Amino acid sequence: MMRAQIISLLREFMFTLGSVADGTQWYLFGSVDRNEADAADIDLIILCKTDAQADALRRLIDTDAFPLPLHLSFLTFEENAEIGATKLQKSSNISP
């Protein structure tokens, strides 16, 4: 229940960011992704096209604006290809 609600909120939020978020991919992992009742925060990886896009999104996203604190990780696609963060975290792609 919690997982579905949070994914819905994150997707809505992503659309409000407009062109700044163009081309990004969002991955949920951790306790919310596992739909655990006592989840303490929302673990989210956002893959970005460039460093500048990652920096812009970091500035724009209010981590206290969700039902649980948002724990953000920004990587470029290049970095994710290098260390496989999304696979390592057993994350779920939630971007459309």
Partner 1 sequence: MSTNATNWVAEKLVSKEGLQVSGRTQEDFLIVGDESDYTFLVAVLGKKDKIERADVEPLFSGNNKPEFIVNIPSKAIWTGEAINFVHKANAAFGTLSEVSNAYRTGDAGSYREKNMRFYTNAFWQHSNVTDVTFVYETVLKVDRRRGESLIIAIVDAYNMSAEDIRNTRDRVGHFDIALKSTSYGGITSNATSAAESIGAEALMFREVMARLGK
Contact 40, 31 (CB under 8 A): yes
The CA distances from residue 89 to 11, 12, 13, 50, 79, in Å, are: 20, 23, 23, 22, 14
Which of 2, 17, 71, 95 binds partner 1 (CB under 8 A)? It is 71
At 51, the amino acid letter reads: D
Residue 79 binds partner 1, judged by CB under 8 A: yes
Residue 74 binds partner 1, judged by CB under 8 A: yes
Residue 55 binds partner 1, judged by CB under 8 A: yes
Convert residues 9-48 into a mask of x (bound to partner 1 by CB under 8 A) and - (unbound): -------------------------------x--x-x--x
Q: Tokens 């649980």 appear where?
A: 68
Residue 60 binds partner 1, judged by CB under 8 A: no
Cβ contacts of 88 within 8 Å, gap of 6 or more: none
Contact 86, 92 (CB under 8 A): no
Residues of this chain that bind partner 1 (CB under 8 A): 40, 43, 45, 48, 51, 54-55, 58, 63-64, 69, 71, 73-76, 78-79, 82-83, 85, 88-89
